[in-house]
Amino acid sequence: TGLSKGAILTHRNIIAATLQAEAWFAPAYAGQSDMRKIHGIAALPLYHIFALTANGLVFMKFGGLNHMITNPRDMPAFVKELQQNRFTAITGVNTLFNGLLNTPGFDEVDFSSLKVTLGGGMAGLLLQMLHPAVLAGVWDHSDFRADMSGRLRRTARFIALTTYGGPEEAAAVAARVRG
């Protein structure tokens, strides 16, 4: 994700992030008696806090298998690993998922045991809010001057649901915007 920003995290931050990622995974695995059957796919290196928590620490806490892809930039080899392994979870950032979707053979991966896909990288999507056309619409049709944090929160929710949500969620949030 570019040059290091030198962020310092406390143990409390790391524990909170791990519990948050676990909460995202928990509904998908409710009722599963043997958590060791969880098989996640993770792209190395785990240098980003999202990867560290969502892959390294959460799978460790569950006691599941975390299949590490050592060179995620080699998309054909990554897809081959996916084809050879039945996995229940995959995490990544939007650029990784986009690369996989555009790699030959990805459409032949067996997703029948997949229960969770967790994506990081919201920052890139939030930057889309800064496009001049988007800013003009916000300026002309928004209450942002009266509620700046609420406006940002609602816009982030809209972007998240229209990008990562299901069709019903995306339609509902778009209908609200259209009025």
pLDDT at 5: 60
Taking all residues of the chain, what is their mean pLDDT, rounded to a whole number?
81
Cα 102 to its chain centre, rounded Å, is 18
pLDDT at position 170:
83
**Interatomic CA distance for residues 20 and 61, integer angstroms:** 13
Query: Is residue 117 scored above 60 in pLDDT?
Result: yes
If you average pLDDT over each of 33-42, 80-89, 133-142, 165-174, which comes out highest? 80-89
Positive or negative, the CA dihedral 100, 166, 130, 126 is negative
Please give the model's pTM, rounded to 2 decimal places: 0.63
User: Do 95 and 45 touch, CB atoms closer than 8 A?
Assistant: no
Residue 4 confidence (pLDDT): 62
Task: Please state, for a pLDDT cut of 70, what percent of the chain lies above it.
Answer: 89
Q: Is the pLDDT of residue 1 over 60?
A: no
Residue 125 CB burial class (10 angstroms; 0-12, 13-18, ≥19): middle
Instruction: Find tokens 């986009």 and name the residue.
Output: 98
Q: Give yes or no for a contact between 52 and 46, defined as CB atoms under 8 angstroms apart.
A: yes
Low-confidence winner among 67-76, 96-105, 125-134 (lowest mean pLDDT):
125-134
Neighbouring C-beta atoms of residue 68, cutoff 10 Å: 15
Cα–Cα distance, 22 to 124 (Å, whole number) = 23
Q: Between 5 and 135, whose confidence is greater?
A: 135
Instruction: Give the pLDDT band of residue 121 (cuts 50, 70, 90).
Output: low
Residue 8 CB-density burial (10 A; 0-12 exposed, 13-18 middle, 19+ buried): exposed
- For 142-168, b/e burial (b = at least 16 CB within 10 A) is eeeeeeeeebeebbeebbbbeebeeee
How confident is the model over 22-69, as pLDDT tens digits? 887 888 888 887 877 888 998 888 767 777 887 788 888 888 888 999
Which of the pair, 85 or 155, is modelled with greater confidence? 85
- Both tokens of 151, joined, read 């406006």
